[in-house]
Structure 1
Amino acid sequence: MLNIILYFFIAIVVIQLFYYLIVFAKFSFARAQEIKPTNIPISVIVCAKNEEENVAKYIPLLAEQNYPDFEIVLIDDASSDTTLDIFEEFEKTYPNIKLVKVKNNEAFWGNKKYALTLGIKAAKKEYLLFTDADCYPASKDWITAMSAQFTKEETIVLGYGGYEKINNSFLNKIIRFETLLTALQYFSWAKTGKPYMGVGRNLAYKKEEFFNVNGFIDHIQIRSGDDDLFINQAANSDNTTISFSPESFTYSAPKTSYRDWFIQKRRHVATAKFYKAFDKIQLGLFFSSQLLFLLLPIALLVFQFQWILVLSLIGFRYLVTWIVIGFASGKLKEKDVMYWYPIIEIILIFTQINVFITNIFSKPAHWK
């Protein structure tokens, strides 16, 4: 029995090394990106529902971007606070702001995808750049950096949406590490020609890509997924690229309680079950191999069975992952989370299990 466990453990280590050395290394060890401005016309699209504090702070930062030809499409999704009033003031102040007012629709009540569809149709430019109402660009060259990755063939650009750093907060390190690991995955798979998701905090595509798949119609009944489900359906090896220069990042305030972050994670995981079969398999295999990498050695070490080999495999796997994730953390400006890497990884693995189990018995909440 111990021999079987050992062989199984070796197989798990091989799977993990495949992910990190073959797949994830494509992003971790990629060259830094050059920003060659294209100056193509861009519509920046922001959808908000009851975000009065955030839009008051962040929309002016979008309006102040250093870019020659862009408009900002602000979508108010039937807010009950002063979000619409603030948007109307911005529309008067900035000539390149266009306001889309969404009223409650019985068929699509509270559905962000319906609101976004109206905003996309209202956009005058052919290239669309999306961010959320609670996000802000890392630089005044955000539009320049994201749009620079568009080519004639590559009409979908996946960007990085990070979270602000909170000093002396271990939860903040967990959240930022999880965001780093997620970006490492979707950037790397995009570079292998298998793009499977993006984040609405920082995402761009040509308008024709939206209409080529009939927008969100195939998953309109699923409240979440205006970003990852759309990319899962529309992106392929030919039309998708990534943007990871620091100027292209966006940031938002992270959750400050484990409970709120857990609720957010439940929404993300619930959406993933609607991915294509290959993407569900590769994500499931990665998570399963992470979990088994933690559990299988316990039996071997308890009985001191081939313990030198087992410890060597554990050490080699951690060395490889630390290097690969470490290089990615440097690219995405998240180096400080690596000091806690092994501990955070274990916490994330068991948090993921908790999320899966909880989602089986109840549905997570979505758009406000």
Structure 2
Amino acid sequence: MNGWGAFFLVLPALYAVLMVRLRRSWQQLPILPKQESQLPIHTADVPLFSVLVAARNEGLMLPLLLHDITQQSLPGTQFEVIVVDDNSTDNTAAVVEGAAQHSSFVLRLIRLQDQPGAPTGKKAALQAALNVARAPWVVCTDADCRVGPDWLGSYAALIQTDASVKFVSGPVLLTGDNSLLSNLMGLEFAGLVGVGAATIGQGQPTMCNGANLAYRREAFAAVQGFSGNEHVASGDDEFLLHKLHAAFPGSIRFLKTPRAIVRTAAPPTLRTLLAQRVRWASKWRHYQQKAPSAWLC
């Protein structure tokens, strides 16, 4: 048997070992008990969470997200929402201004074009929101997402029972029609979320999703936030994950509970999906760490 033959025999075995280890790590992740969402929550004068939402031309979807946030089981005094309008050409800003007039929580609008230098892009939008955020914890989602009523309460329950946590990755679910393409995209995406969760459980975090994550604002500042990768269009989530893991080993958690799921629409076409994956892949060469060899150990 030549070298290539041996390679193609060994590769499936290595893949199988990897999948078994990842599945075991997923199963060993602690599940947030339902009753823990009823624990006493932050009662200081400042809110517990600053929810950051970067939005560009999301005038149709943003009202749905804001409605979901009004339904949170966590009291409105415990969080604020900061929406950053990233040079939209639709009514995104007007949607936020209208909602803020009767909101049960503090809702603020930042126009990115009004910031010094008129920056653009998601990292710039998040940084602009962070500059005015008041809460010790930041929670990020996207303007086209939907969240359940216990979304923020689940984060509150986790961080109040684990003082060492600095960064929390949450579950994200793709939604769509019942077509074969949509179902395949959903399975592939669920696999990515599962791998990210399992590697967090192994203490070797690799990936997360910016549509559902949280981190301590002081930890973000300690690692200089997005500094060093501002030039990369994607990666506001995973670059920060890797930085915080390097600076604070053992401080990364995955929020394993269905109550924390954030739902987002699947890409409408195969071309859109491929363009998204190319954009995601473009950041990999900038990672400071390789995929951990501990997966196979």
**Does TM-score exceed 0.5, indicating one fold?**
yes
**Quick check: 205-214 or 16-25, which moved more?**
16-25
**What residue number does 1:74 align with?**
83
TM alignment of 1:266-345, pairs within 5 A: 266-279=278-291
1:171·1:256 contact (CA, 8 Å) conserved in 2? no
The alpha-carbon deviation at position 25 of structure 1 amounts to: 1.8
* CA–CA distance in structure 2, aligned partners of residues 96 and 64 of structure 1: 14
* CA–CA distance in structure 1, aligned partners of residues 54 and 264 of structure 2: 15
2:133 to 92, 113, 123: 123
Confirm whether residue 184 of structure 1 aligns to residue 194 of structure 2.
yes
2:212 to 197, 202, 221: 202
The alpha-carbon deviation at position 170 of structure 1 amounts to: 0.9
1:104·1:110 contact (CA, 8 Å) conserved in 2? no
The alpha-carbon deviation at position 31 of structure 1 amounts to: 5.3
**What residue number does 1:334 align with?**
none
1:149·1:241 contact (CA, 8 Å) conserved in 2? no
**What residue number does 1:340 align with?**
none
Confirm whether residue 243 of structure 1 aligns to residue 238 of structure 2.
no
* CA–CA distance in structure 2, aligned partners of residues 275 and 149 of structure 1: 28
Q: Over residues 31-61 of structure 1, what are the superposed CA-to-partner deviations in whole Å (9 max), with x where a residue is unaligned?
A: 5431423524111111101111011222111
* CA–CA distance in structure 2, aligned partners of residues 59 and 125 of structure 1: 19
Larger helix share, 1 or 2: 1
Identity %: 22
TM-score (norm 1): 0.71
The alpha-carbon deviation at position 104 of structure 1 amounts to: 6.0
* CA–CA distance in structure 2, aligned partners of residues 19 and 33 of structure 1: 26
The alpha-carbon deviation at position 154 of structure 1 amounts to: 0.8
| SS in structure 2 of the partner of residue 244 of structure 1 | coil
The alpha-carbon deviation at position 239 of structure 1 amounts to: 1.0
| SS in structure 1 of the partner of residue 286 of structure 2 | coil
**What residue number does 1:149 align with?**
158
1:77·1:115 contact (CA, 8 Å) conserved in 2? yes
* CA–CA distance in structure 1, aligned partners of residues 195 and 158 of structure 2: 19
Q: CA RMSD in A?
A: 2.3
* CA–CA distance in structure 1, aligned partners of residues 27 and 9 of structure 2: 24
**What residue number does 1:102 align with?**
112
**What residue number does 1:12 align with?**
11
**What residue number does 1:57 align with?**
64
Q: 1:78 to 1:165 in 2, by over 3 A?
A: closer
* CA–CA distance in structure 2, aligned partners of residues 178 and 86 of structure 1: 33
1:46·1:75 contact (CA, 8 Å) conserved in 2? yes
Question: What residue ranges of structure 1 are gaps of 5+ in the alignment?
Answer: 287-368
1:24·1:189 contact (CA, 8 Å) conserved in 2? no
Letter in 1 for 2:32: Q
The alpha-carbon deviation at position 149 of structure 1 amounts to: 2.0
**Quick check: 143-152 or 229-238, which moved more?**
229-238
* CA–CA distance in structure 2, aligned partners of residues 227 and 255 of structure 1: 19
Q: 1:7 to 1:136 in 2, by over 3 A?
A: same
**What residue number does 2:51 align with?**
44
Letter in 2 for 1:166: D
**What residue number does 2:175 align with?**
164
**What residue number does 2:45 align with?**
none
The alpha-carbon deviation at position 245 of structure 1 amounts to: 0.6
| SS in structure 2 of the partner of residue 232 of structure 1 | helix
Q: Over residues 205-247 of structure 1, what are the superposed CA-to-partner deviations in whole Å (9 max), with x where a residue is unaligned?
A: 1101210111111101111111122212223542101012110
Letter in 2 for 1:23: L
| SS in structure 2 of the partner of residue 230 of structure 1 | helix
Q: Over residues 302-322 of structure 1, what are the superposed CA-to-partner deviations in whole Å (9 max), with x where a residue is unaligned?
A: xxxxxxxxxxxxxxxxxxxxx
| SS in structure 2 of the partner of residue 149 of structure 1 | helix
Aligned length: 281
TM-score (norm 2): 0.87
2:175·2:266 contact (CA, 8 Å) conserved in 1? yes
The alpha-carbon deviation at position 180 of structure 1 amounts to: 1.0
| SS in structure 1 of the partner of residue 211 of structure 2 | coil
Letter in 1 for 2:236: D
* CA–CA distance in structure 2, aligned partners of residues 173 and 72 of structure 1: 32
Q: 1:220 to 1:5 in 2, by over 3 A?
A: closer
**What residue number does 2:95 align with?**
86
